[in-house]
Chains A and B, each alone.
Chain A
């Protein structure tokens, strides 16, 4: 039982390049989330997926797109990376029917955009 896994762990992009961050969970959770973490700002929600087939914007969605590929997988895409997107990205999952609000986090992807 791996929990929430994220790939890659580290990535360096040049401005304007695109990439997709992958996230998968094996806990059969309905809901999944993408956050970014910046110094002094805590975690800010980028997008979330309440259930398979649905996605919604969070607090800071600009410059990102997401795909809920199936119940297990939720990817985050940067179409044209900008230096302001240098951050640590966390994926999380939850099952509201079992424990309200409680989320389980992946290990993170550290992204640098030059």
Chain B
């Protein structure tokens, strides 16, 4: 079965510094991969998605992610973090067994320090 691992529970980054959030997936074929962001007290918003093609995908709010098949990874990056980026970030993979569903990682909470 598909699974997603986000090894970092919390990450603290200084405002203006670069960010990389890690995501590893387990899937036999080419995966459908997603990053969602959840601001405090809000629902989840899609940041970006990877289906096929170019392994570097651009998303909203200046985020990007790179699909690396050899490492089974789909890490999220941002060159310069803003205080408003403080949120929880979820990586997800499409589960094609039966009906098409999403399998989520446990999330990484990003704290931004001044």
Task: Give chain A's interface residues, CB within 8 Å of chain B.
Answer: 4, 31, 33, 40-45, 48, 50, 56, 58, 90, 92, 96, 100-108
Nearest-Cβ distance from residue B93 to partner chain A, whole angstroms: 9
Least Cβ–Cβ distance between A87 and chain B, in angstroms: 14
- A41-B106 contact given A100-B51, A101-B32, A106-B43, CB 8 Å threshold: yes
Contacts of A103 in B (CB 8 A): 46, 102
Q: Which of B55-102 contact A (CB under 8 A)?
A: 90, 94, 99-102
Cβ contacts A to B, 5 pairs, < 8 Å: A41-B106, A50-B99, A100-B100, A101-B100, A105-B44
Contacts of B106 in A (CB 8 A): 40-42
How distant is the Cα of A101 from the Cα of B97 in the complex, in angstroms? 12
Q: A40-B106, A48-B99 are in contact. Are A100 and B94 (CB under 8 A)?
A: yes
Residue of B nearest to A49 (CB): B99
Given A41-B106, A43-B90, A107-B43: A102 in contact with B101 (beta carbons within 8 A): no
Measured between beta carbons, the chain A residues less than 8 angstroms from B44 are 43, 90, 92, 105
Q: Which residues of B contact A (CB under 8 A)?
A: 9, 32, 34, 36, 41-46, 49, 51, 90, 94, 99-102, 104-107
Tell me the smallest distance from the CB of B52 to a CB of chain A, in Å. Answer: 11
Within the complex, which residue of A33, A96, A107 is in contact with B42, where a contact is CB–CB below 8 Å? A107
Q: In the bound complex, what is the Cα–Cα distance between A33 and B95 (angstroms)?
A: 14
Which chain A positions have C-beta within 8 A of B36? Answer: 105
Q: Give the residue name and chain of the B residue nearest to A50 (CB).
A: B99
B41 contacts across to A, CB distance below 8 A:
107-108
B46 and A102: CB pair below 8 A? yes
Return A112 CB to nearest CB of chain B, in Å: 15
- Compute how far the CA of A103 lies from the CA of B41 in the bound complex, rounded to whole angstroms: 18
Q: How far is it, in angstroms, between the C-alpha of A58 and the C-alpha of B52 when the chains are bound?
A: 27
Residue of B nearest to A45 (CB): B101
